[in-house]
Amino acid sequence: MSNWNKSTLGELAKKRNGFIQTGPFGSQLHVSDYVDEGIPIIMPVNLKENKIDISKVSFISEKDLNRLSKHIVKSGDIIYSRRGDVTQKALITQKEEGYFCGTGCLLVRVGESINPNFLVYFLSTARSKSWILNHAVGITMPNLNTKILARFPISFPEKSIQTQIAKVLTDLDAKIEVNNKINQELEAMAKTLYDYWFVQFDFPTSEAQAKQIGNLSLVGKPYKSSGGKMVFNEELKREIPEGWGVDIIENLLAKDVGTKKIPSSEYLEKGKIPIIDQSTKFICGYTNEESSLIKTSKPRIVFGDHTRIVKLINFDFARGSDGTQVLLSNNERMPQHLFYHALLNVDLSNYGYARHFKFLKDTKLIIPHLEIAQIFEIQTQSFFRKIKHNIFENQKLSELRDWLLPMLMNGQVTVGSPVKNRDLGELEQELGMVAEDSEKYGKV
């Protein structure tokens, strides 16, 4: 690292006519100016793990975009949160080029003076985050401004080395992203199957049902669409397939073995047992406390009493003590994967901030024939086994990336140097195949 160049973000920006600027203030753009459709506005809430997440996004009109055109982002820009978690940032890619840097953000543009991927990883090290937090201002809430970011010290090697380092790390992140997309697709496939079979009632017609209808050619055809017999259910005030039943969730719950709950203050970054709680993060931490272990010969469903988040867990885990409920079905006509999807369909949003489990237990569910429940269980089990594999593979990839990051960024390790008896150049070549094979990974 001794031969690396040393500079600041401010100096790098000046060299290539770049800049560090604040997003528009409230006097320039009001919430009332937002539109239903238009150009996405990047806000602090949209900055997630160095990427832009527009799952929850507001929009600005073309007219306001032209009026405030200096806040339009370009590929290679870095957006920082200006207040709150001031270490949150994201790199703008070609996909987000033309979006709008919104209120509460800072826009960093250094042009071609440094590889943007290298820069965002450099800013992601613990040392960089610590510098940002230590220099942020504000008594009740950390605040960042252009002067602070301009003073941020940065060291960097020649451009070709920057590119090599960035590629090693981006290939790891690319594989993680591919796995996440595969998991989303598998979840969507399982949900689609559930909707067809248990909401629209177009499950495959069995031979017995076809005989009942009087037409054996209907075997395997969609039940309801093919004229399968439906009966009116008084409890639900709607028609359901003949022979199906209804029960409340409380009657479907088996009594499970009690284990120790782990308070959030005792979560570990690494450990033997993954911890599941009601947060949006799937695995929220780890523990080595054996008395907390929940063995999953059958998958468990974790329900968030406050958040209403539902997770299917098909690996041994520990339970967080933040209001989680662990659910196990006692009815063979409601096996765990089917139970999970049925619970996903329960709407408890009208109860606001409350203990939702008591309302969940009173909810009525449709109980299908055993045969169709078992077929659904077999088909969706394979989806969730693959999801589990990807979750743990991503965990290992994240650990490897986080282990390499500081060593690459302080010059302790260089591309091509041996790392624990392994050549990083070989690792880079292996990881480089990830992005090329994205299409293959997506076919499941």
Q: Which domains does the chain have, with CATH numbers?
A: 5-156 (3.90.220.20), 167-175+385-442 (no CATH), 182-375 (3.90.220.20)
Residue type, 249: I
Q: What's the pLDDT band for 431 if we cut at 50, 70, 90?
A: low
Average pLDDT (308-319) is 95
**pLDDT digit string, tens, across residues 368-392:** 999 999 999 999 999 999 999 999 9
Instruction: Quickly count: other Cβ atoms within 10 Å of residue 63's Cβ.
Output: 11
Residues contacting 413, CB < 8 A, separation 6+: 404, 407, 419, 424
Query: pLDDT value at position 418?
Result: 53
pLDDT of 353 over the 90 cut: no
3-state helix, strand, coil in the chain (%, to 5): 40, 20, 35
SS3 241: strand
pLDDT reported for residue 219: 85
pLDDT of residue 420 exceeding 80: no
